[in-house]
Amino acid sequence: MTHACHRFVTSVLIFGALGVIGCAAVQKPAELVRLETLTRDSQALDKAKRTAPKIFEEGKGYQALALAALEDDELDDCSTYADLAWVKLETALEQARTQEAEARLKSASLRLSAAQETRAKQQARLDNMQKGVGRLEKIQTLETQLGEVSQRPSSADQFLAQQDALFQQASALSGVEVKKDKRGIVVILRQLFARKKILLLPGMLPLLDKIGELANRFPSTTLMLEGYTDSRGRHTDNLTLSMSRAQSVMDYLVQRHELPLNRIKASGYGETRPVSDNATPSGRVRNQRIEILFLFR
């Protein structure tokens, strides 16, 4: 090999190594890291794919575009695609969670109906026995059995009773809005933060303490924290702000009231799902909120 050829090969190797080092130094955007965190739970993703296949596939498509942009060092495009993928996949996951909650509620209602039907049949049998003469022992036996069934609440009874109790106790708190929906009991909190800030206002901590005490009184519930903003600002900024605010509430409840991490989850949806008109100041205040969904397991 000539001296010139040797110098050429050496230069190619050096520049190739520098290219590898440069690629390795590329840092993933925060939006892509958040997307990777969302997609770690393979079982939840499988449920989301079955529940909302179209939205799920759109999300996976944006995820693929984000990864391709990362390989091409197009970090702005990577962030944008990762944000779109996160919104699509989180929507599919939320639909799967809603469907699962509806199935549990339907199952509980069916069990309650079956228990009520059983009681009605036993009562009818008891009425027929009372019409006969000389069947006193059988009547007494059926009365005893009916009393035992009536005194032993079914799991469906307990489920609905707990929901009602939580709703009543949450409604007694001042400064919150409480509603029932098909997923569970929703407690809505507003004005927890200064504008564009993620630190909790000190004056709102006593209210969060009451929420933590409520959660501890119902240990069979799972808490889903959902952050929302008004429509001012960029979509990506609003997503980040809403997620950070929900995370701040979650951190406080976990640290202050020792809620287990497997009982609580935080999500951010930005300006999506408004509950009021963003064109007015009062409407924007209503849209800036944290919704805490109590799910019964």
pLDDT digits (tens, 9 = 90+) for 143-175: 666 665 555 556 777 888 889 999 999 999 999
Tell me if 2 sits within 8 A of 50, measured CB to CB. Answer: no
Task: Pull the structure tokens for residue 172.
Answer: 């007694």
- CATH number given to 155-296: 3.30.1330.60
Which tokens hold the place of 105?
């509620």
- Residue environment code for 200-210, b if the CB has 16+ CB neighbours within 10 A, otherwise e: beeebeebbeb
Classify 109 as helix, strand or coil.
Answer: helix
* C-alpha separations of 167 from 184, 186, 221 in Å: 9, 9, 13
What is the Cα–Cα distance from 289 to 175, expressed in whole angstroms?
12
165 near 171, Cβ under 8 Å?
A: no
State pLDDT tens for residues 236-277: 999 999 999 999 999 999 999 999 999 999 999 999 999 999
